[in-house]
Structure 1
């Protein structure tokens, strides 16, 4: 299982030792407002950890816990997974953060690193991201990543805004950053 690093975060594959931080994150109604619309129960968090560990074993990628390097605290989570959890579909990138860490650039920092993993290590030809149509903050992170809005689609039983980026477009954004 792959641990990723950014300037301020360590992205660790979700594991049982992350339970308490994930329980707090996923039980926050503000975090869940655009995801499920309701706080997650402790049992749901435990089941999610188990599911995610199975996906890591099956696919070699899934959800990471975002550990803030300065404090050692779990401040968010993010993923590279198959859209709709179906390997026939393109890869999806996603994230969520504790509200006390919003506005610090953590989502963009983690998303950029996870996208690099998807394109460089998994050789994904493209990445998609979905968000509730009213979730302007996530849409801004998608735009900063170089993703473009492709339309509204139905995923996980709800209509969501879908953004995507191809490998060559992502490579071009990296080239621009390095100049």
Structure 2
């Protein structure tokens, strides 16, 4: 399901997003808080698109490509998924942006739209977001979303800060 905001168009991952996703997956500055900074191979990017498409089919939500509404330029990705992809875990929101798009409010704008989707379309009443303890910009996005700090927990085989939101 596509989502439009004032400045953004969110589209479920598909093959047309490969180049934008590949650029992020191959950028160590984007990956520094994801995958321990290890960039992905082209094959891993393709596999992630396939995995996300399967989750869309199964759950009706997963990862969206974020495009600038007017220009159509790929600027990042955001998600609604089960925390760490564990079947009975709480719903998690997440995001990552092309580096030159940071600091423009796009992550917050996309995440707000996904929160609305989670509440109205997926019936969510509780959401979490996780980040590397050193990823202060993501902590700030979580705070702007009205999320509150919960704890440090292990997810994705890493220690993460966890923020939570009681919604709906």
The normalised TM-score by structure 1 is 0.91
Equivalent residue for 1:119? 119
Counterparts of 1:148-163 in structure 2, within 5 Å, are 148-163=148-163
Q: Determine helix, strand or coil for the equivalent of 2:117.
A: helix
Displacement of 1:106: 0.3
Equivalent residue for 1:137? 137
Give the alignment's Cα RMSD to 1 decimal.
0.8
Counterparts of 1:163-174 in structure 2, within 5 Å, are 163-168=163-168
Displacement of 1:84: 1.8
Please, which runs of 5 or more residues in structure 1 have no aligned partner?
169-179
Equivalent residue for 1:43? 43
Equivalent residue for 2:21? 22
Distance 1:80 1:16 in 2: 19
Equivalent residue for 2:4? 5
For each residue in 1:107-154, what CA deviation from the matched residue of structure 2 results, as whole angstroms up to 9, or x when unmatched? 000010001100111111200000000000000000000001101000
Please, which runs of 5 or more residues in structure 2 have no aligned partner?
none
| Corresponding residue pairs, total | 167
Displacement of 1:39: 1.3
Distance 2:84 2:18 in 1: 24
Displacement of 1:87: 2.5
Distance 1:86 1:125 in 2: 18
Distance 2:96 2:6 in 1: 18
2:84 is the alignment partner of 1:93: no
Equivalent residue for 2:83? 83
Displacement of 1:41: 1.4
Displacement of 1:159: 0.4
The normalised TM-score by structure 2 is 0.97
2:32 is the alignment partner of 1:33: yes
Distance 2:25 2:8 in 1: 19
